[in-house]
Amino acid sequence: MAPKDATPPRDDFPVRVHDLLRERAVWVLPLILASVVVSAMTALYLASAVDPLGHVRGLPVEVVNNDRGATLGAEHLDIGSRIEAGLQASPEVSRRLRLEPVTLPEAERAMSRGRAYATVVIPPGFTASLLAQAGLPAAGASGGAATRTGDRSVQLLTNPRAGTLGVSLASGVLQPALAAASRTISAQLTAAADTTAGASTGAGTATTGGAATAGAGAGGAATQAFLANPVTVTTSQFHPPPANSALGLSAFYLALLTLMCGFLVGTLLHSTVDAALGYGTSEVGPRWTQLQPKAISRWRTLLIKWVMAAALTAVVTGLMIAIGAGAVGMDAPHPLLLWVFSWLCAASVAAGTIVLFAALGTPGQLVALLLFVYAGLASAGGTVPIEALPGFFRLLSEAEPLRQILAGDRAILYFDAQADAGLTRGAVSAAIGLLCWLALGALIVRWYDRRALHRMNPELLTYVNRAVQDYRAQSKPAEDQGPRAP
């Protein structure tokens, strides 16, 4: 047992857990920040995706009407034009889709550049084929190419490379509209067929008696089945997504990884460079380190981080492409161009993240997270197409980097790196963003320096340096003496 008069052991850490937990100030800031950030994340992400069909406006769809029409009696019929006009006049279609009448080569060029989600193609012998199938004596409705089976259906070409949800939305609007057109045409063909059948039956009875009735009955069931639904729709993909492309989503995943490369590089450089300059701490496991602060301006600190960001984003995006296209096997037909573009975009995001840290301090990380990541996810058009976003997010997408990165990645991965398929937009936007962040950072940080808003007051910095020198001077004799003998 210890002697009764023994001195109790000294407690070098007297602060207790319950002492801090009772402090209101300890709770207030984390509660406010967490509530604000989570609320903003939820509002941004869910508001953009919760009702895409209700917000879809101007979804680009091409219409190719090759129907030559046919003559029934004294009237020239063009059922293809009726379908096209009906689609244009339908409020449910025109309110959601932007229909553009074009030729087939023009439609293929648009879809080859990701400018249309689908194309409605009406074949050349469409009217003639329908009249022949209905048993109507129309000029041009018998024999040859006019009555080919393929001419009896409307073809819906979808473009999943432009976005799978956009294709789904376009198909969901077009299919009911074409079904409504089929019912309208059914009524018109049925009336014409009844009129023709009545005249033919009267003439046949006068000459051959019951033979005419028997002939009409033999073909009547098939004709009636056709007349009930004369317009059929055949759906096929125009240039399906390449293999190993995550069903057309690899561009979105790669764009998100590129954005995260820039954000993480900016965040890591802020903490590591500040720790090396003595303005931040470094903690690895149980080891805590605080270096002696260096006399350096905010502007020079920012320059150091920017230069390092340019080098590090080149490395990490190179690793990203190497792992994605090499180890994982993602389809990437232009890996070098993809790396250069990803490097430019990641460098732009990293520069912006560093500027937000320099301007706002620690809250800059939260602002960068909301601005680059969550606002980008909500407005990029990676899952929900731009045309199906609420108005605020459409406006936001014009400036958000993730949309520009996605446009360039889609062009490189799916559209043979064509400049007008989104590559020019993505590269120019990333370059402009980089220049804007550099200019904004220079203005803010140099203004801080001119106003003497230093990270550490020069007098305090001098005091800290003197204290460090004194501590080292006191510690050196003890180290020179070495450990004492027991």
Mean pLDDT of 145-158: 73
Contact 346, 313 (CB under 8 A): yes
pLDDT at site 149: 54
In 369-422, which residue ranges form alpha helices assigned H by DSSP?
A: 375-379, 391-397, 401-414
Strands 59-65, 97-101: pairing is parallel
Contact 22, 351 (CB under 8 A): no
Residue 140: is its pLDDT beyond 60? no
Residue 121: is its pLDDT beyond 80? yes
Number of neighbouring beta carbons within 10 Å of residue 8: 6
pLDDT at site 132: 84
DSSP state of 242: P
Q: How far apart are CA 448 and CA 202, in angstroms?
A: 99
422 phi-psi bin (left φ>0, alpha ψ -120 to 50, beta other): left
pLDDT at site 279: 85
Q: How far apart are CA 416 and CA 321, in angstroms?
A: 17
Residue 207: is its pLDDT beyond 70? no
Distances (CA, A) of 353 to 34, 122, 258, 406, 408: 20, 51, 14, 19, 21
Contact 128, 70 (CB under 8 A): yes
pLDDT at site 306: 97
Helix/strand/coil for 192: helix
User: E-strand spans in 107-180?
Assistant: 118-122, 138-139, 153-158
Q: How far apart are CA 80 and CA 156, in angstroms?
A: 14
Contact 229, 285 (CB under 8 A): no
pLDDT at site 197: 60
Output the average pLDDT for the chain. Answer: 86
| Sign of the four-CA dihedral 387, 388, 394, 399 | negative
Residue 218: is its pLDDT beyond 60? no
Burial of 221 (0-12, 13-18, 19+ CB in 10 A): exposed
Question: For residue range 426-468, what is the model confidence (pLDDT) as tens digits?
Answer: 999 999 999 999 999 999 999 999 998 888 877 777 777 787 7
In DSSP notation, 289-348 reads E-PPPP---HHHHHHHHHHHHHHHHHHHHHHHHIIIIIIS----S-HHHHHHHHHHHHHH
Residue 244: is its pLDDT beyond 60? yes
Q: How far apart are CA 423 and CA 440, in angstroms?
A: 26
pLDDT at site 198: 60
Residue 247: is its pLDDT beyond 80? yes
Amino acid letter for position 215:
G
pLDDT at site 202: 53
**Residues 6+ positions from 197 with CB-CB distance below 8 Å:** 135, 216
Mean pLDDT of 360-386: 92
In DSSP notation, 344-388 reads HHHHHHHHHHHHHHHHHSTHHHHHHIIIIIIHHHHHS-SSS-GGG
pLDDT at site 376: 92
Percent share of the chain, pLDDT over 70: 87
Residues linked to residue 92 through DSSP beta bridges, in sequence order: none
Residue 286 in tokens: 């149980």
In DSSP notation, 39-79 reads HHHHHHHHHHHS-HHHH---EEEEEEE----EEETTEEE-H
Q: Kindly report the pTM of this predicted structure.
A: 0.85
- Sheet harboring 70-72: ordered strands across? 75-77, 70-72, 138-139
Res. 481 pLDDT band, cuts 50 70 90: low
Looking at per-residue pLDDT, the higher value among 7 and 321 belongs to 321
Mean pLDDT of 169-186: 92
Residue 215: is its pLDDT beyond 60? no
Residue 103: is its pLDDT beyond 50? yes
Q: How far apart are CA 138 and CA 68, in angstroms?
A: 13
Distances (CA, A) of 309 to 264, 304, 369: 10, 9, 17
Residues linked to residue 284 through DSSP beta bridges, in sequence order: 287
Mean pLDDT of 173-177: 93
Mean pLDDT of 220-249: 86
Tokens 């954000």, residue located: 263
pLDDT at site 142: 44
Res. 217 pLDDT band, cuts 50 70 90: very low
